[in-house]
Amino acid sequence: MFRRWLDDLPLGLAPLLIAAMGLVAGLYLLLHPVQRGEADLSMWVFGPLHADAYKMAAEDFSVRTDHTIDVQLINYNAVNQKLRSALWAAVNIPDLVEIEKSAAGGFFRGPLAKVGFLDLKPYLVRDHILDRVPANSLATYTERGAIFGLPHDIHPVMLAYRADIVDPYLARRGLRMEDLATWGDYFRELRGLCTAGQRYLLQIEHGDAWAFQIFLMQRGGGIFGPGGRLRMDDDTAVQTMTWMIPLVAESGDNQVAESLGNWDPSFYRGLIEGFYIAVLCPDWRTSQLEAFAGDLHGKMRLVPLPAATPGGLRTSQMGGTMLGIARSARNPELAWQFARQIYYGSPQQHGQLFRTTNIITPDRQAWNDPAYHEPRPYWCNQVLGEQFIALADAVPPFYSSGFLPTAQAKLNEAIVACYGRYRSHGVEGFEAYVRQRLTSAADYVRRQMAREPDWDAEE
């Protein structure tokens, strides 16, 4: 009889079991509600250095205000899923949370009144902070006029190069790196240093979109534009791909860029051994080079990126973190006061973080701290802070989207395909192939966007 009863279930046994488990879990939570900690506010952070700094700031905040902050370090890969689950279930939502910028767009969808974060624009206006922050740094976290996140950083991109190799070579030609204003100048004037299989002029990973996105934004493009408009297949993207791929896909002496990896030890080994003499370098990567390529102490320098065309942009951007305050925060004003302390607090606090990470804060008032004006021996005594600050207002905007991970995955596929096509067929018909591949990738993303419920519709 039981078997017959199972056969009569309209959707089968599995949905029944899932529903039963959901019912049991719901009853358990009803009888054993999740208890918030004893602290007045909770905060989730995925960066260990951030967590250490914020715990110290929380102690100071507690002394000044008699309110406590529980700063919790959450694994980078887990924080987004945990936050999404918390928001959906309305359970155990942190009062403040830091998330990586590429994931931010996914949390800003739907009617503005139902976004899980507070609109922080009124606070920024009230406390006269908007003018202290480069406008483009807010673009990622601005959605339909609301600002749901505070930018922790700007991340200008420069070119880090082997000064011990490049500078003497250029000096013999009466040139300096600062004279090479465009990528065309760079590859032409340094061509004599390039030897197939032994030394290349730039590190570019041709298996992912990391370098491509840097070049794309330098040219004024992007995967998404304002308002979540997908633009990964527009003319700027096609021109960027058509220019970049031959750098790594040409054969013999015509190949000027190569990679041994982007993040693992082989990346640093390639630079130390002079296999490539320059790398694309956001501010945060300079500290990684200092830590993992110590052999290059006193041999590296930084210059603004050569422009795509004369007079063009001399920087780009890569990476970033935002701080949001949950709409459900127990005490929004108190959460804002702590957010203000750690993001727009003392210049000394930001200066100390810069000495540790080389990451410049978007808060202009902190740029007068001595930490940003100290020469750095690793970088041939260049004043690292002033180098990046000079580019801060030129950093192009980055527009996020809930579909960014899908678009980046399809872009990776297109890059690999274009690399293979150029290796096998050369320049013949390459631009048309690039356009076809990017259009195909973008169409896939557009179909996914069309299939989603109309989350962005206002009620």
Task: Report the CATH number at residue 100.
Answer: 3.40.190.10
Number of domains in the chain: 2
Instruction: Spell out the residues 6+ positions from residue 439 whose beta carbon is closer than 8 angstroms to its own.
Output: 233
Q: Which of 186-190, 204-208, 256-260 has the lowest mean pLDDT?
A: 204-208
Give me the amino acid identity at 253: D
Is residue 12 domain-resident?
Answer: no
At residue 209, the pLDDT reads 87
Is residue 33 domain-resident?
Answer: no
Is residue 18 domain-resident?
Answer: no
The mean pLDDT value of the chain amounts to: 91
Is residue 1 domain-resident?
Answer: no
pLDDT value at 296 more than 70: yes
Pick the closest to residue 176 from 184, 185, 167 (CA basis): 167
SS3 94: coil
| Average pLDDT value for residue range 99-113 | 88
> What digits encode the pLDDT tens for the residues 41-53?
999 999 888 888 8
The answer to whether residues 172 and 312 belong to one domain is yes
> What digits encode the pLDDT tens for the residues 409-430?
999 999 999 999 999 999 999 9
The answer to whether residues 49 and 167 belong to one domain is no
Task: Give how far Cα 357 sits from Cα of 155, 288, 361, 391, Å.
Answer: 12, 8, 11, 18
pLDDT value at 9 more than 60: yes
At residue 175, the pLDDT reads 97
The long-range contacts involving 138-142, CB below 8 angstroms and separated by at least 24 positions, are 139/226, 139/397, 139/398, 139/399, 140/101, 140/104, 140/105, 140/320, 140/322, 140/397, 140/398, 140/399, 140/400, 141/101, 141/104, 141/108, 141/322, 141/324, 141/400
> What digits encode the pLDDT tens for the residues 218-245?
999 999 998 889 999 999 999 999 999 9
Judge contact between 308 and 182, C-beta under 8 A.
Answer: yes
What is d(CA 187, CA 244) in angstroms, rounded to the nearest whole number? 12
What is d(CA 212, CA 425) in angstroms, rounded to the nearest whole number? 21
What is d(CA 124, CA 340) in angstroms, rounded to the nearest whole number? 9
At residue 456, the pLDDT reads 54
The answer to whether residues 174 and 242 belong to one domain is yes
- Surface-to-core class of residue 23, CB atoms within 10 Å of its CB (0-12 exposed, 13-18 middle, 19+ buried): exposed
Higher pLDDT, 434 or 207: 434
Is residue 138 domain-resident?
Answer: yes
Distance of CA 227 to the CA centre of its chain: 19
The answer to whether residues 410 and 308 belong to one domain is yes
| Average pLDDT value for residue range 102-124 | 91
Provide the 8-state DSSP code for 359. Answer: P
At residue 29, the pLDDT reads 67
At residue 452, the pLDDT reads 75
The answer to whether residues 406 and 293 belong to one domain is yes
The answer to whether residues 176 and 202 belong to one domain is yes
At residue 23, the pLDDT reads 79
Instruction: Spell out the residues 6+ positions from residue 232 whose beta carbon is closer than 8 angstroms to its own.
Output: 223, 224, 407, 410, 411, 438, 441, 442, 445
> What digits encode the pLDDT tens for the residues 331-360?
999 999 999 999 998 888 889 889 988 999
Pick the closest to residue 142 from 78, 79, 224 (CA basis): 224
What is d(CA 428, CA 182) in angstroms, rounded to the nearest whole number? 25
Higher pLDDT, 161 or 135: 161
Is residue 30 domain-resident?
Answer: no
Which residue segment(s) compose the domain that 70 sits in?
Answer: 41-154+319-344
Is residue 149 domain-resident?
Answer: yes
The answer to whether residues 105 and 254 belong to one domain is no
What is d(CA 342, CA 86) in angstroms, rounded to the nearest whole number? 24
At residue 360, the pLDDT reads 94
The answer to whether residues 334 and 214 belong to one domain is no
The answer to whether residues 113 and 135 belong to one domain is yes
Model confidence at 397, pLDDT cuts 50, 70, 90, reads very high
Model confidence at 156, pLDDT cuts 50, 70, 90, reads very high
The answer to whether residues 314 and 327 belong to one domain is no
Residue for token pair 């483009």: 136
Is residue 384 domain-resident?
Answer: no
At residue 262, the pLDDT reads 81
At residue 395, the pLDDT reads 96
Percent of the chain topping pLDDT 70: 94
pTM of the predicted protein model: 0.87
The answer to whether residues 160 and 201 belong to one domain is yes
> What digits encode the pLDDT tens for the residues 301-321?
999 999 999 999 999 999 999
Percent of the chain topping pLDDT 90: 72
Which of 280, 309, 344 lies at the terminal end of a domain, its last residue? 344
The answer to whether residues 301 and 333 belong to one domain is no
